[in-house]
Structure 1
Amino acid sequence: MKRIKKVTCLLLGLSVLASSGCGGGRGDGKLTPQEMTDALFAAISANREAYTREVVDRLQYQERIMEAKEHFREEKVLPLPAQMLRMSAETISQSKDALFSYALLSQWPINKQNGPRTESEKVGLRRVAETGKSHYTEETLGGKKYFSAYYPDKGVVEACVKCHNDHPDSLRKDFRVGDVIGGIVIRVRIDE
């Protein structure tokens, strides 16, 4: 499991470098907080979509070799795409040198701990659900100032939508492919 986490973090880091042009853009080698969160989101999304389409969808639905389930450890199957995203986020959050954090949240969480906790999260999730577009803001948490970016998290394949609609703890049961199911919040510490 540690090897999977290390590989996931390595892939995420390489994806961020590739999507950010290794600091290009304005030519000064610096990214704005929004450019950084946008690059991180591109990498997170690409990794998650690749896992969803090339691993889960292929092995579960096309080749019918192995399923992805909520209780993957106990059942010895694949973790769900949302769980892979959370495991990566937890690995990053455990690093004392992390420059950012991210989380998958929803107004309609299957797991209540993944619902909005701060006013910023409530507003950000509502905005991405209403508009389907990113929302940016600054907030202070624990006395520290952060640039916070909210990105719509859409059900990209039928498996995502079916899981949410069929889950007994789901607060909403009418999702369709392409609907915003939640949001990915990325926070970057900013100095005043």
Structure 2
Amino acid sequence: MPILTTWIRSLKLKTISLFVLATAICLTAVSCAGGNSNSSTQTSGIDPALVVDYIHTVAESDRTAYTKHVVNRLKTLEGQDKPNGVVPAEATEAWQDANGIPLPAQMFRLGAELASEQGAFTYGLISPWFINDAQAPRGEFEEVGMQSVIDSGEPYKDYREIAGQQYYSAIYPDVAIAEACVTCHNDHPIHKERYPDKIFELGDVMGGVVVNLPLEGT
């Protein structure tokens, strides 16, 4: 499908650009040598908090554009007709089997998979109201950080260690910016079964976007 091919090509170009940026910055990023007697000494360079902000801005902007200018223009969303749709296509979770296009969260995950292949950084979605089990908050950082984001609506950032490697990580609020986001989650059978009392509305924090930036020399 031309529209999907074009968008994936765009994702690849943006992922490569972010990879180059993150690789260059990792060489000079501020690091925190936990447990070291010289932990108060930091290498000068670009603040990793700024780097994860850059990554999040690009990734989230791409998903927002896809949601507003592609999915919102389709005539069908998960089998339901959209009165204002103008493009004869469907956005559906089973897009590979139904000859449709991915939902916004799935497109976001496709971009995240491309980014992880490069190894310079990772990003993804988590939520306490997860439908996909892989998106459940895991570990103290994600559990504490996700709750903080829900309570405050502000990003949560800190250093953490993953598999022996030190990272600077951030969790950003994942806000329902379009009716498609709300409808897909509220009407999903797994959501109805697991969280029958949770009804999302536009503007709600539905979860978090996690960005992990590896730090060199730690």
Question: Does 1:182 find its partner at 2:196?
Answer: no
**TM-score, normalization: structure 2?**
0.76
Alpha-carbon distance in structure 2 between the residues aligned to 1:64 and 1:79? 15
Match of 1:8 in 2: 11
Superposition RMSD in Å = 2.5
Determine if contact 1:12/1:47 at 8 Å carries over to the other structure.
no
Aligned residues: 182
3-state SS of the aligned residue for 2:189? coil
1:174 is displaced (CA, Å) by: 0.9
Letter matched to residue 58 of structure 1: R
Correspondence for 1:125: 146
The alpha-carbon distance between structure 1 residues 41 and 133, as it changes in their structure 2 partners (threshold 3 A), is same
**Counterpart in the other structure of 1:49:** 64
Structure 1 gap segments, 5+ residues each: 24-29
Unmatched runs of 5 consecutive residues or more in structure 2: 26-44, 76-81
1:139: which partner in 2? 160
Aligned mates of 2:16, 2:205 — CA distance in 1: 26
* Runs of 4+ more than 6 Å apart: 15-18
Structure-to-structure mapping, 1:1-192, within 5 angstroms: 5-14=8-17, 30-60=45-75, 61=82, 62-95=85-118, 98-170=119-191, 171-172=194-195, 173-190=198-215, 191-192=217-218
Instruction: Report sequence identity in percent.
Output: 35
Q: Distance in 1 between matches of 2:161 and 2:19?
A: 25
SS of the aligned residue for 1:160 comes to helix
Shifted more, 134-143 versus 2-11: the winner is 2-11
Q: Which has the higher contact order (CA 8 A, sep 6+)?
A: 2
Rg larger in structure:
2
Query: What does the per-residue CA deviation read over 1:26-65, in whole Å, with 9 as the maximum and x for residues that have no partner?
Result: xxxx531110000111101110000000110012442151
What's the CA shift for 1:93? 1.0
> Which whole-Å CA distance do the structure 1 matches of 2:14 and 2:151 have between them?
32
Instruction: Give the drift of 1:144.
Output: 0.8
CA distance in 2, matches of 1:117, 1:140: 13
TM-score, with structure 1 as normaliser: 0.85
